[in-house]
Amino acid sequence: MSEIIIAAQALTEDGWRNNVAITIEGGRVEAIEPSDAPPTVDILLPAPGNLHSHAFQRAMAGLTEQQTGNDNFWSWRALMYRFLEALTPDDVEVIASGLMMEMLEAGYAALGEFHYLHNAPGGTPYDNPAELAARIAAAAGTTGMGLTLLPVLYMQGGLDGRALEGGQRRFASTEDSFAALMEGAAQAIAGLPDDTRLGVAPHSLRAVPADAIARVAARPGPKHIHVAEQTAEVEEVLAHTGARPMAHLASLVDLSPEWTLIHCTHGTAAELGEAARAGAVAGLCPITESNLGDGIIEMAAVQEAGGRFGIGSDSNVRISLAEELRTLDYSQRLARRARNPLAGPGQSSGRTLYQGACLGAAQALARGAGTIAPGNLADLVALDGAAPSLAGLTGDRVLDAHIFAGDDGAVRDVWSAGRHVVRGGRHVARDRIAPAFMATLRRLRTVA
């Protein structure tokens, strides 16, 4: 299946080019050539992946915004556990389909799903240990989302080895049951397009014993872990191991370009620099980290070490790529009391943020993507040059305005590995996906 896009402006691996024809063949960019044909799109960009999500949490968005006394991450988690008791496999698939539709409409071409809901309520395994992983895979098939599935190993309630309780039992695996889950997950994605990837995710230093982290890290493919998100977590790891979380992780596994460290909010400058030099991606979730009150990462340490970063939507409280990037930049401005802190001298913040997120997510999700270049997956997004925020702009100013002055409403078309699934700002299957999504949200919100 081939398609030719004629772009008035395109951000290619060689920078901005005007009036180019981009040929897509077999899901990849085949050629980029000058063209004098009338443009079919105004502004063509690489579409980044969203490197971190827990799909089912989309249904909880906005439900945890009341002050409950000592309100923090842990009170949020209490609501999540109540909510979990009500979720069926059908719910998981419907929510994931609705969420992926929203992500594609926001300009993401791929998703790293950090999938940790494995068991039935109460913790009983399903007959198929990969039942819920298969539901995530089915949602990717329904929506055309490029999927990197990251089944999560979650074994204990804390570093003292205490058992999982309540809603956490739906996450539980042993190393043996996890091996069966991985086999089932591989089968579940076998029917999906060949840009689909399978990785692995030890949940956190709290939830997986040290020796099991080392063993699961020996599996092939991308490896993701939550690390140093909360100060309470830093204290718990320090108390039990004598090391801070990122240093402890680095003592257990070889950090490499296959690793993505989700959050790493409370990494020290030295720890962040070491992980960046090892090639690991900093997996930032700016809206969720703001919503949970986590803290602000020291991005200067990542950048000075030449590190990569990418964006994830984590709790999925908002699905907005532009807002994620803006929130990241604004947190750094507030922390440093400076404007444009991530851009180098003479560079654009928008370009720095957008291009960085494309490259970091491509690495984190093991997708040959991140730039518009021959041979890369055709993960592409077209913006409407007539959107009020973008009218009259060219080059990097388009990215500055898209992120700081506009929103995802300028997204017109999205291709995931050449699958043209958003047209005219709407997902091609929205009329089929949205009604079930809305019905499920309404029903679940009565229990929360």
Query: Under the rule (CB under 5 A), what is the footprint of Zn ion?
Result: 314
> Residue 71, by phi and psi: left (phi above 0), alpha (psi -120 to 50) or beta?
beta
Angle formed at CA 304 by CA 234 and CA 407, multiple of 5 degrees:
80
439 in Cβ contact with 446 (< 8 Å): no
Q: How far is CA 320 from the centre of its chain?
A: 11
Q: How far is the CB of 54 from Zn ion (least distance, A)?
A: 6
- Cα–Cα distance, 9 to 16 (Å, whole number): 7
CB of 113 to Zn ion, least distance (A): 11
Smallest distance from Zn ion to CB 163, Å:
22
Cα–Cα distance measured from residue 194 to residue 222, given in angstroms and rounded to the nearest whole number:
16
C-alpha dist (Å) from residue 168 to 63, 173, 207:
19, 11, 10
Find all residues with CB under 8 Å of 416, minimum gap 6, and list them.
Answer: 47, 104, 109, 110, 144, 145, 146, 195, 379
For the bound state, the minimum distance from the C-beta of residue 236 to Zn ion, rounded and expressed in Å, comes to 17
Judged by CB, which is closer to Zn ion: 314, or 384? 314
Per the annotation, the verdict on 314 as an active-site residue is: yes
Buried b (16+ CB within 10 A) or exposed e, 62-85: eebeeeeeeeeeeebeebbeebbe
Q: What does the DSSP assignment read for 78-109?
A: HHHHHHHTT--HHHHHHHHHHHHHHHHHTT--
Nearer to Zn ion, 271 or 314 (CB): 314
Chain position whose Cβ is nearest to Zn ion: 314
Neighbours of 93 (CB within 10 A): 21
Residue with token string 């257990």: 252
Q: Which is nearer to Zn ion, 42 or 314 (CB)?
A: 314
Query: Residue 247 corresponds to which tokens in the numbers above?
Result: 């240093």
Tell me which of 115, 203, 263, 402 is the catalytic residue: 263
Beta carbon nearer to Zn ion, 274 or 314? 314
C-alpha closest to that of 427 among 443, 409, 446, 414: 414
Asked if 263 is an active-site residue, the reply is yes
| Backbone angles phi and psi of 91, in degrees to 5 | -60, -45
Give CA separation, 375 vs 43, 371, 416, in Å. Answer: 21, 10, 14
Q: Active-site residue among 42, 294, 314, 379? A: 314
Nearer to Zn ion, 319 or 422 (CB): 319
Shortest Å, Cβ 53 to Zn ion: 8
CB nearer to Zn ion: give 51 or 198.
Answer: 51
Minimum CB separation of residue 196 from Zn ion in Å reads 21
- Asked if residues 68 and 410 have their Cβ atoms less than 8 Å apart, the reply is no
Cβ proximity to Zn ion, 22 vs 319, nearer residue: 319
Q: Minimum CB separation from Zn ion for residue 148, in Å?
A: 15
Catalytic residues: 263, 314
